[in-house]
Amino acid sequence: MRPAPERSEARELGLLGLCQLGLAAVFGAVSWPFFPTERGMAGHDYGYFLPQLLDGFLWYRANGPWEVPWFSPSFCGGVPALANPQNLFYSVPQALSLGVAPIRAAWLTGVLFAWLGFLGSYLLLRRAFGAGRAPSALGGGLFMLNGFFLHRMLIGHLSFHAFMLSPLLGFFLLRPWEGKRLRFALDAVAAGLLLAYWLYSGMVHLALPAVAGVLAVGLSRSMRGPGLGPMLSKLFLAGAWAAVVSSAKLLPALAFVELFPRGDYPLPGVRSLLEQLLFLGRALFAGGVAGLAERVVVGAQFRVEPQELEYGVSAVPLLLLSAAAVLGLRRRLGLAAPSGAPRRRPLRGAHLAALVALLCLPLLLNHHSPGWNAFLKSVPFLGASANFLRWYCLYLLPLSVGAALSLERVPELKRFALPLCALGLAAAAVQTVLYDRSYYREQPYETKRLTEAHSRFRQGMVPGIDYVVARVGPDGVAMSVANRNEALIASGSQLNCYEPMFGYRLEKLPLRTLEPGQVRELSSGAFNLKNPACYVYPKENGCSPGDHFTSAQRDELERFVQRKPFAFRVPVRQRVANWASLLGLVFSLGFLGYCGASEARRRLGGR
């Protein structure tokens, strides 16, 4: 049996637990008044995600947990569900919405993943960098309270919740494996499952900058510590395993995106490097840059809204990194030579160059010039972006880790690690609490109707879809109101839907003969509802994107509007992907269970 921890260690662990709970309470208390506000309102993008959660809840009620939600009749006259990159049926918020109202599920998701951000950062610093508990807690707290995640959750970007798993990904990729092959395999599989969750939960927009942030942390460690080989090997294996586990979603998503590319939006940016650095520095360490952005950000087709400018990690990393730089410079100049200073390993210049290049990437992507923007639009995947401002989130994990390591590695700071950690976390918490969020209090999405419908549907029958509807104003022009996707509550499918896959103004939605009215109404041999299989695999189903159910497909139509799976054809590669995802997930869970049991036996003194 392992010996009981010493009293001082137990006290430190207790303080760490209180720190986590305290910071989670800060995050929860700051965010709670917005889920919803006193007027019953929530962030405007919840008008997209909360009806989607309700739709997923209804699918679950109608079919149970094992039927895959390939399509949904609830929006746009019928759309793909699983194939939509931002669909989050297989996610934590969807699971929570089975028991609580969607708006409460969103808040619980925010608190849970904020805490996971703390835990992942703490483990990353403790196990991969060997940092002490106080610096590790500081890094965890700074990342947990970053303004990027908090304000994205307030505005309704629910698919961004998995961003807070980035430190945990870094932990699995960077922790020493000490020649133990089982641990190496465990790390690769666990990292692969995290990447797969990013895809299943709709976090496609942030996958590249989030991985880049982890790589930046790995490069910073490799300059004076272990090389990059193990990390890159784990990352390669994790990426391959994630592709296997998520292939059932990845293949139809790629097919859907290929038919509806989004490369025609101009990219906003900043012309001057100096202006961009000033803008970024204020966004990271102070916040409140909306007024400055209006002056320096150019080329945007749509207004750059305040949530696109929130990245704050407080002023604490800036102060600690500046202090570490000044003290390091003093030592190099011979002005200070603390006794007992650790002997440094030689700096790896190539790794430093790679780190600098990686950290310059968001600056490069957000540089605005016509020729450069045209080139970016020609790059696969990147060209589908409407802006690259969110790439600034790459800096959040490196800054949090850097602040913690300044406290750990600089002798003059390490002497006061505990009080500096307490002061740093207190300062970050105060800055978070006092931040002006008046913009988020005036959001237009009213949650009451959807919350009441969720409560009603939990106890009654699952409604089908009987009508195609459209919100129009007195002049007959379609209205883009925040709650238009809630038509499913009254058995309607919103024609003027909120679905970015068809463009922010639905400019790519192939309406054809779709019009307000009964879905079972026949016109020229077609019903008044889209066959969503034609949006994903039109060739296999003998149709083209935007085609309707035909008179010969009445049975398929009836099953579709009653939220039941209907027969459609998929290519052989999709059938292979379905089995690969299922078997990959089963193997992963079994392997993790085996590793957990082995570790438990080892800790209990068994073989």
Give tens-digit pLDDT for 551-594: 999 999 999 999 999 999 999 999 999 999 999 999 999 999 99
Q: Are 346 and 376 in contact (CB under 8 A)?
A: no
pLDDT, mean over the chain:
91
What are the E-state strand segments in 111-268? none
Contacts of 528 (CB under 8 A, 6+ apart): 77, 468, 513, 514, 515, 517, 518, 519, 520, 521, 548
Whole-angstrom CA distances from 3 to 6, 97, 233, 240, 606 are: 9, 43, 36, 41, 16
Tell me the C-alpha distance between 132 and 50, whole Å: 41
Identify the CA nearest to 214 among candidates 183, 174, 162.
Answer: 174
Q: What is this structure's pTM?
A: 0.93
Tell me the C-alpha distance between 86 and 46, whole Å: 13
For residue 461, what pLDDT band results from cuts at 50, 70 and 90? Answer: confident
For residue 1, what pLDDT band results from cuts at 50, 70 and 90? Answer: very low
Where exactly are the structural domains of the chain?
18-40+82-441, 571-607
Task: Say whether the peptide bond before residue 3 is cis (omega within 30 degrees of 0).
Answer: no
Residue 41: CB atoms within 10 Å = 20
Reading phi first (left if > 0) and then psi (alpha if -120 to 50, else beta), residue 76 is in left
Can you give the C-alpha Rg of the chain in angstroms?
26
Question: In degrees, to the nearest 5, what angle opens at C-alpha 257 toward C-alphas 251 and 258?
Answer: 90
Query: DSSP code of 500?
Result: G
Query: DSSP code of 164?
Result: G
Tens digits of per-residue pLDDT, 260-285?
A: 988 778 889 999 999 999 999 999 99
Tens digits of per-residue pLDDT, 576-587?
A: 999 999 999 999
How many residues appear in the chain? 607
Three-state secondary structure call for residue 394:
helix
Tell me the C-alpha distance between 149 and 27, whole Å: 11
Three-state secondary structure call for residue 202:
coil
Q: The dihedral of CA 209, 268, 160, 263: what is its sign? A: negative
